[in-house]
Chain A
Amino acid sequence: MLFSIKTTVRTVLKSKLAWAGAVILIVIAVMAIAAPAFSPFDGYSHDTDSIFLKPMSKGHWFGTDEFGRDLFVRVWQGARISLAIGILAAIIQMVIGTLYGGMSGLFGGTVDEVMMRLADALYSIPDLILVVLITMAMGNSCFSVILALSVTGWTSTARVVRGQTLMLKEMDFVRAAKAFGAGRWYIMFKHILPNCRGQILVSLMLNVPSAVFAESTLSFLGLGIKPPDASWGTLVNEGFKYSNITYHPWVIFLPLFFIAITMISLNILGDEFKKALDSKH
C-alpha cells in the first residue's frame, strides 16, 4: 500500500519499453515547444508556388499542404494544441473523478449507490454525442473542447478511487482518526486520498491518450479545433478534405503517425507505472 514516487519511478525505468515511450514523449514535447520558433516558415502563410511539395524538398522537412503551408511547423503547432488539450482535460477529469469517487465511497450506503448509478448513466451515453452537443452549444474553442472532454471522461477515475476508498475506510488508522473526532473531509484529504496516489496517477497517465484521441476524433470530424488553428486531428481532417491519398499521402499520414506514436508511448508509460504499482502489493 505504500506508494513512494522514487521506488515506483525506479521500477519503471528498469523497463526498456518504458524508456522508449518516455524518450519519444520527451522528444515530441521538446519539438512541440521549440520547433516552430526555429523554423523559417510560419505555418499560416499561403504560398501557391509551393503547394503539395514532398517531404524533404526546398527546406520543407515534412513537405507542404494544399495551401503551401509548411507541414513541419504545422505538425508541431498541432502538437502544442493536441497535447495541451489532452493533458488539461486529463487533469480536470482526475480532479472531478477523485472528488466524486472519494465522496461516494466515504459516504457509502444509499448515497454511494445513487452516485455510482449516476456515473454509470453518464458513462453509458456515447461520449461523442455529449461532446458534440457541448461544442455546438459553446462554440469551437479550445476551452469548450476541454470542457466537453472533461465532462465525459472522469468516470473511470471515480470508480477506481471509490474502490480504494471503500477499502481504506475500514482501516484502523481511519478509525483512530475518528476516535479523535475527525470529520469526513479531514479523513478524505489526510488519510484516504494520499493512499490512492498511485491509482490516481496511473489513471491520469492513461486518461491523457484517451483525451488526445478523443480530441483528434472531434477535430477530424470538424467539430473540434477549426482551421487555421490546427490540432493534429484538424490536420488529418484537412488532409482528408484537400489532398489525394495516392498523390499526396504525407499530408494525411504525418499527423496520423504522430497521433498514433504519442498515444502508444503514453499508453506504454502508463502501463509500466501500473505494473510497477501492482508488483508492490
Chain B
Amino acid sequence: MDTILRIKDFSLSFKGKKILDNINMSVSKGEILAVVGESGSGKSMLARSVLGLNSPDVFDIKGKIFFDDRDINSLPEKELTKIRGAKIGMVFQEPLSYLNPVIKMASQLTEPLNKHKKINKRKAAQLMEDFLRKLNINDPLQYMKSYPHQLSGGMAQRGVIAMNSSCEPELIIADEPTSSIDVIVQYSIIKLIKDLARLQGTSVIFITHDLQLAAKIADRVAVISKGRIVEEGDVQEVLKNPRTNETAQLLNACIAERAQETGVKRKALLEIRDLRMHFKSGNNINRALDGVSLTVYEGETLGILGESGCGKSTLSRIITRIQRPTSGKVLFEGTDIFSIKDYSKIVQMIFQDSITSMNPQMRIEDIVAEGIDILYGKSRQERTKDVIECLKRVGLDKSIKDRFPHQLSGGQRQRVGIARALITNPKILICDEPTSYLDTVSQKHMLDLFMKLKNEINLTYIFITHNIRILGNISDRIAVMHKGRIVEIGTRDEIVFNPVHPYTKMLIDASIKDEDYFAESLFQTDDSACNSCGCKYHALCKRAAEKCRQESPALISIEGEHFVACHLF
C-alpha cells in the first residue's frame, strides 16, 4: 500500500522543553490511524506539525515530515496553503469556536471548493447541498442559510466534515472531533468519517483520548505519551494485549465488570415526588422536568444517565435548592427540603466546569471555606484548619490554598470543587458531570477519589452524566432520563447488561458494543420536541403502537427493582 504520510525522527521543542520526541509514524493510503493519548501528551501538536502550523521561528523543529514525498517543513508558506484544505483537511474539536460566528454556513462550507478548485460560489453551494443531503442532513437549504450558533454541535461538525471532504483530500486529520458531543451523535459522526474515508479513499488520522472510541473507527492505533509514541499496531491487538503501562492505563479507564454488593435493607434519604419544572417562553412551554419521581437510599451511588437537554441539570438545581420547582416535592427524611433550616449543610454539589464554578478573584482557601463562611461563623485559625483538612482528604497539598483557580490544572480544580462541597460534612453529594472536561486518566483518578470518600465517610452520591462507562464503574443503581422523564431505572448490572427501554438500549449500544447497531436502532435522533399526551417518544420510536400515542406510560416493575416506562411491557 502506498504511504502518503511519513513522519521520520520528528522532534519539536519549545524553549528547551521537549513537546514531541523522536516521532516515527506513517499513514498509508485509505487507512484510518488513531492517535491516542491523555491530555498534554502532544497529540494536537503533532497534528499541527503535519499541517506545518508550527512556525520554525517559535519552535525548534528536528526531523522530517514527508507528505507525498515532500518535506512539509521545507516548503514555503505559499506551497503549504495549496496543500492545506486541498490535500490535507483538518477537523477541530469545538465547532462553535473555529467557525466564524458572523458568516453563514454557505460561505464557510464552500470556501475550500471556491479557493482550491476555483469553482464559482453558486455551483459550489449546489455541490455542498447535495453532499449534505447524502450525509443525512434533512434540510440542506436551511442548513446553508444558518449561522453556526443556530446549529447544534453535532450538526456543525457534520457540515465541517463535509467541507473538508469536498475537495477530496488525501488525508483528513480529526483532532478530538467528538469529545464535547453526546454519545449518540458522536457515534453517527464517527460512522460518517469512516464511510467517507472508505468512499473516497481518504486516509484519516483520528486523535482522541478515548481508546474504545479509537477501536470503533480505526484500523491501526498509535499510543502517544509525554511526546513519545509508546505503542503502535492493529487496534484490536493493542486493545487485547497492551504492551506498555501507558496503554494499560488508558484501557483501565474503560468499563469493567464489578461484583454487585448484596442488597442490604437501606434507609430512604431523599424522596422526589412527581417533580415538574416548566419554563414559559412566549407561547412555548419548555417542560424541563415532566413528572420525575425517585428515591435515593443511604450509602448508595445513584447514577443518572441522560444526554444534554434531558433535565438532569435542572433536577440537580432543584435538589440543592438553587431553583424552585413548578410543582412536586422533594423530601429529605420525610420533610420538605424547602422548609429545612440547615439543608445546605446536608446536600452539596460538584459542578461540571471547574473554571466557571470558581470565582477567579478568590483564593483557593476562600473558595473552599465558603460553606463555613456562610453557614457557620468560625475563627480565622479554625477555618484554615478545616480547609487544610478538606484539601488533604481530596489529595491536595495545603500549599494550594493560597493560589488562584487559574494557576491549577483541571484535575486539581475539580478536587478543590470536591473539597468545597465536603467542608460542611454533607450526607448527599450531587455530582453534575464532574468528569466531562477531564481526559480518561484523570477521570479514573477522580472516580478512585469518589470511591475512597464513599468508604471513608459513607457518602451518598447522585452522579449525573452522559458517560455510561463512568456510571458502569461506580454506580449501584442507574436511572435513565430523557426529555424530562425517567424512562428506566434499575441496578447497574440490569441497565448496562440488560437494558429494556428502547432509548436505554440505544444509549448502551452506542457506547459499549462494537457492532454497527446504529443503522438498526429503534430511535431516530431528531431534535423536534414531542409534547403530545401519549408516550413522548411515539413519533420517534419505530415500535410505537396506537396505545403509545394516546397514553403516557408510567414506571412499571419488570423484575425486582428494575422499572421501565414503556407500553411494550
Name A's B-contacting residues (CB within 8 A): 1-3, 171-173, 175-182, 186, 190-191, 194-195, 197
Contacts and interface: CB of A to CB of B under 8 A. Distances in A.
Contacts of A191: 359
Interface in B352-392: 352-353, 356-362, 367, 370-371, 374-375
B402 to A, nearest CB: 15
Contacts of B320: 178-179
B317 A175 contact: yes
A182 B372 CA distance: 11
A41 B327 CA distance: 79
Contacts of A178: 320-322
7 contacts: A2-B404, A172-B357, A173-B356, A175-B322, A177-B370, A179-B349, A180-B374
Contacts of A173: 356-359, 367
A2 B375 contact: no
B225 to A, nearest CB: 32
Most B Cβ at <10 Å: residue of A178, A179, A182, A195: A179
B348 A2 contact: no
Contacts of B322: 175, 178-179
Interface of B: 317, 320-322, 343-344, 347-349, 351-353, 356-362, 367, 370-371, 374-375, 404, 406, 420, 424
Contact of A182 (B367, B374, B406): B374
Nearest to A183: B374
Contact of A179 (B321, B359, B361): B321
Most A Cβ at <10 Å: residue of B322, B344, B353, B356: B356
B344 to A, nearest CB: 4
Given A176-B420, A178-B322, A180-B375, A195 B370 contact: no
A269 B358 CA distance: 31
A182 B424 CA distance: 14
A1 B424 CA distance: 29
A107 to B, nearest CB: 16
B361 A175 contact: no
A182 B371 CA distance: 9
Contacts of B343: 181
A263 B496 CA distance: 70
Given A177-B374, A179-B321, A3 B361 contact: yes
B361 A176 contact: no
A175 B356 CA distance: 10
A189 to B, nearest CB: 12
Contacts of A190: 359
A195 B361 contact: yes
Contacts of A197: 361
B426 to A, nearest CB: 10
A184 B406 CA distance: 26
Contacts of A194: 359, 361-362
A181 B361 CA distance: 21
Contacts of A186: 374
Contacts of B321: 178-179, 181
Contacts of B367: 173
A63 B398 CA distance: 67
Contact of A180 (B317, B344, B357): B344
A3 B344 CA distance: 30
Contact of A1 (B317, B360, B362, B374): B360
B452 to A, nearest CB: 23
A195 B374 contact: no
A280 to B, nearest CB: 11
Contacts of A182: 374
A275 B161 CA distance: 37
A171 B356 CA distance: 6
A176 B360 contact: no
B556 to A, nearest CB: 34
A1 B356 CA distance: 10
Nearest to A168: B359
A270 to B, nearest CB: 22
Most B Cβ at <10 Å: residue of A171, A180, A186: A180
Nearest to B350: A176
Nearest to A179: B320
Nearest to A176: B357
A2 B374 contact: no
Contacts of B351: 172, 175-176
Given A2-B361, A3-B361, A176 B317 contact: no
What 3 A-B pairs are tightest by C-beta distance, nearest first?
A172-B357, A181-B344, A179-B320
Given A2-B361, A171-B357, 10 more contacts: A2-B406, A172-B353, A178-B320, A179-B322, A179-B349, A181-B343, A182-B374, A186-B374, A195-B360, A197-B361
Contacts of A180: 344, 348, 370-371, 374-375, 424
Contacts of B362: 194
Nearest to B341: A181
Contacts of A179: 320-322, 344, 347-349
A150 to B, nearest CB: 28
Nearest to B361: A194
Contacts of B361: 2-3, 194-195, 197
A122 B289 CA distance: 42
Contacts of B349: 175-176, 179
Contacts of B406: 2
A3 B404 CA distance: 12
Nearest to B420: A176
Contacts of A171: 356-357
A180 to B, nearest CB: 5
A173 B349 CA distance: 11
Most A Cβ at <10 Å: residue of B321, B359, B370, B371: B359
Most A Cβ at <10 Å: residue of B320, B357, B360, B361: B361
Contacts of B358: 173, 176
A256 to B, nearest CB: 42
Contacts of B404: 2
Nearest to B354: A172
A230 B322 CA distance: 56
A172 B406 CA distance: 15
A171 to B, nearest CB: 5
A209 B370 CA distance: 40
Contacts of B375: 180-181
B125 to A, nearest CB: 35
B360 A2 contact: yes
A99 B272 CA distance: 39
Contacts of A181: 321, 343-344, 374-375
Contacts of A176: 349, 351, 357-358, 370, 420
Most B Cβ at <10 Å: residue of A176, A177, A186: A176
Contacts of B348: 179-180
Contacts of B371: 180
A197 B359 CA distance: 13
B406 to A, nearest CB: 6
Contacts of B352: 172
A196 B567 CA distance: 54
A31 to B, nearest CB: 37
B387 to A, nearest CB: 15
A2 B358 CA distance: 11
Nearest to A1: B360
Nearest to A192: B359
